[in-house]
Structure 1
Amino acid sequence: MPTAKPLDGKVVLVTGAGGGIGRAIAIEAARAGASVVVNDLGATLDGQRESSVAAEDAVAQIEKAGGRAVANGDDVSQPDGAQAMVRQATDAFGRLDAVVNNAGILRDGFFHKMTYENFDAVVKVHLYGSFNVSRAAADVMRQQNSGSMIHMTSTSGLIGNLAQANYSAAKLGVAALSKSIALDLKRWNIRSNCIAPFAWSRMTSSIKIDSPEQEERVNRMKEMSPDKIAPVALFLASDEGADTTGQIFAVRNNEIFLISQPRPLRSVHRGEGWTIDSVRDQAIPALRPSYVPLDVSADVFSWDPV
C-alpha cells in the first residue's frame, strides 16, 4: 500500500507560480500529494503582461512527475481575476484547501522620486492581490469549514529597506491583513499565516549593487534557493499545521524564524496629563532608551546564512 503524503487530497492555489519561490512551492505541493492551480500572469518584473508560458511550463513539469495541476493566467490585482482562479480550482478539483499569495512585482525608487503610478501598481499586486484571492477563497473555505491562507510578506515591510516605500507598505499591509483574516475566519477553521522569504529569485535579482558590501550581500542571497521556502509553506497548508494561525515566519536558507508582532515596549503616565514641556522633559527621556533604531533588513539579519 502506498505511503500517505502530507497533502494527499488537498487542492492548493499558488499565485505567481511560474518561477522562483512560487514555482518551487507549486512543484513541491504536487510532490506532497496536492492538486495544484499554478497561477502566473506572465508579466515582467515591473508588472507588464507577457505570456502564460511560465505557468504552463510549471504544470508540464508537475504532470511529467505524475502530479495533477492546471495553469491559470488571471490577474490577482483584479477581483474578477481572483474569483476566476478560485473557480478554476473548484471546477478542476472540486475544492480548495490552501492559497499561497506569492504573486508580486517591484518598482523600486527613493520616496522623493516615487510616482503615484509606481506606488499604486505595487500595492495593487501585493496587498490588493492578497486580499482579492483570499476573499474569493474564503467563500469556498467557509463552506468546507476548513482552509489555510499563506501570504508572502517581507522584511522590507517588517523591518525596513531603502528605496522600497511601495513594496514595504504593501508587505507590512499583508501582515496586518493576514492577522485580520486569522481572527475573522477562525470560527470556520480557516487559518492565515505569513512567510517572509529570503531567496534568490527574479525579484531579488533587481537589487541595485552600488557598493562592495551590497555586492557581498547579493552574492550571499544567490546561495539561498527558492526550494528552501516550500517546506514551511506546505506545512502551513497541511493538516499538521491546523493549530498555527496569525503568525509571521521568516525562512533564510536553513533557518526558520518566528517574527515578533508590534506590542507596547514601554509606557509613561502622568496623572495631570501632558504638556509639550512635560513630554519633552519627562516622557521622551524615559522612552528614548527604548527607541527602535532606523535600521534596514540587512542590519538585523547581519550574519551569513547557514
Structure 2
Amino acid sequence: MTGICQDRVVVVTGAGRGLGREHALALAAEGARVVVNDLGDAARSVAEEIVAGGGAAVADLGDVSDWAYAESLVERAVAVFGTLDALVNNAGVNRDRMLVSMSEDEWDVVLKVDLKGHAAPLRHAVAYWRERSKQGRPVAARIVNTSSGAGLLGSVGQGNYGAAKAGIAALTVIAAAETARYGVTVNAIAPSARTPMTEAVAAFADRMRAPESGFDAMHPGNVSPLVVWLASADSGDVTGRVFEAEGGTIGVADGWRYGPRAVRDRRWRPAEIGPAVRGLLAAAPAPAPVHGT
C-alpha cells in the first residue's frame, strides 16, 4: 500500500522536534522522501528514525533565515533526491513579553527566524519550480506555511510573534497569487498543540479540557495529517488558504475582507467622520477577541 505522498520530495524546516518532527515522520509514513532541517543534532535523529523505519530522509542543518543557506537547502533536496515537490515551512521561535518591556533583540530574532525563515526557503523553492515550468516540465508543487492564532487574532504578550505570524499569513496569500502560474500552491496552517514552544499554554489547555475519551487533543501529531495532505498532489485545487488545526478539529480561518462602507461624492469633513465610523462599526461583525483578553 502506498501513501498519498509516495515518492514526493519534501523539505521540512524546524523538523528536529515538536510539530516539525511530527510532520516529517507523518510525511515519511505516507511515502515522502524527507529533507529534515533544523539547527542541531535533533534533525539527524529524526532523519535516522525515518530511515530506520524503512523511509528515505537526510538531515540538513542550518538557519533558514539565512538567504544563502535557504538556497542551498533547496539545492540539497534536488541533489540527493533528484527533485523537490513540497516545502513545509515550520521553523520558528518565540520571545514572549509585553510590548512595553520587549527588547530590540527579542523583536528582531522572532521576526528574523519566523518571518524571514519562511520567506527565504519559499523564494528559492519557487525559483526552482519556476525554472521547471519554463522548461515545460510538469510541476505539482506545494508550500505549507505555519502561521498561528496569535497572528490571525492577536495574543497578549506576543506582539513580536503575532506580527511575524500575521506576516506569514499575508505572505501565504500573496505567494499563492504569484506562483499559481508555475503549478505551485501555497497554504498555511494555524496549529494549536503541545510543543517545546507552547508548553505553558498547552499545559493550561490540558487542564481545562480534561478529555473523557483519553484522546490527547494537544498532541502535535494531530496537526500533521493536514500538513501531509496539503503537501500531496491531491491538494492541487486548494491555495491561498489558512487552516486552523487542533486535536480532531480542522477549520478554515476567514481573514480580512471588505466590510461596510460609507461613501461621499466629495472629501469628508473631519466632523463627519465620527458618526460615519460608528455607523460602519454598528453594521460590521464584532471582531474576534484577542487571545489572552
TM over 0.5: yes
Q: State the alpha-carbon separation in 1 of the partners of residues 222 and 203 from structure 2.
A: 22
The superposition leaves residues 50-108 of structure 1 with CA deviations (integer Å, 9 ceiling, x where unpaired) of: xx221111011101110000011110111111112111111110111000000011111
Aligned equivalents of 1:22 and 1:267: distance in 2? 42
RMSD: 1.8
CA contact (8 A) 1:74 1:84 kept: no
On the 8 A contact 2:206/2:218 being kept in 1, the answer is no
The whole-number CA distance in structure 1 between the counterparts of 2:132 and 2:218 is 36
Query: Identity rate of aligned residues, in percent?
Result: 35
What SS class does the counterpart of residue 240 from structure 1 fall into?
A: helix
Give me the whole-angstrom Cα distance separating, in 2, the residues matched to 1:171 and 1:54.
Answer: 24
**Aligned partners of 1:253 and 1:294: how far apart in 2?**
21
Deviates more, 1:84-93 or 1:269-278: 269-278
* Aligned residues of 1:95 and 1:140 also touching (Cα < 8 A): no
Q: Does 1:88 align with 2:76?
A: yes
Counterpart of 2:136? none
Selected match of 2:280 from 283, 287, 292: 287
Q: What is the deviation of 1:220?
A: 4.8
Deviations 1:141-199 (A, max 9, x none): 22333211100000101001001111000000001111111111111111100000011
Aligned length: 280
What is the TM-score with the length of structure 1 in the denominator?
0.87
User: Which string of whole-angstrom CA distances, capped at 9 and with x for unpartnered residues, describes residues 189-235 of structure 1?
Assistant: 1110000001100010154xxxxxx9643535874111111111111
Other structure's SS at 2:95 match = coil
What is residue 55 of structure 2 aligned with on the other side?
67
Letter of the 1:285 counterpart:
R
Note the C-alpha offset of 1:292.
Answer: 4.1
Conserved? CA contact 1:76–1:130, under 8 Å: yes
Unaligned runs of 5+ in 2: 134-138, 210-215
**CA distance change for structure 1 residues 232 and 215 in 2, over 3 Å: closer, same or farther?**
closer
Matched, 1:258 2:258: no
Counterpart in 2 of 1:31?
Answer: 29
For the residues of structure 2 that align with 1:263 and 1:19, how far apart are their CA atoms?
35
Aligned to 1:14: 12
**How far apart in 1 are the matches of 2:38 and 2:116?**
16
User: C-alpha displacement at 1:293, in angstroms?
Assistant: 4.1
Residue 185 of structure 2 is aligned to residue 191 of structure 1: yes
Contiguous gaps of at least 5 residues in structure 1: 42-51, 208-213, 300-306
Separation of aligned partners in 1, 2:247 and 2:27: 19
3-state SS of paired residue (2:267):
coil
Q: TM-score, normalised by structure 2?
A: 0.91
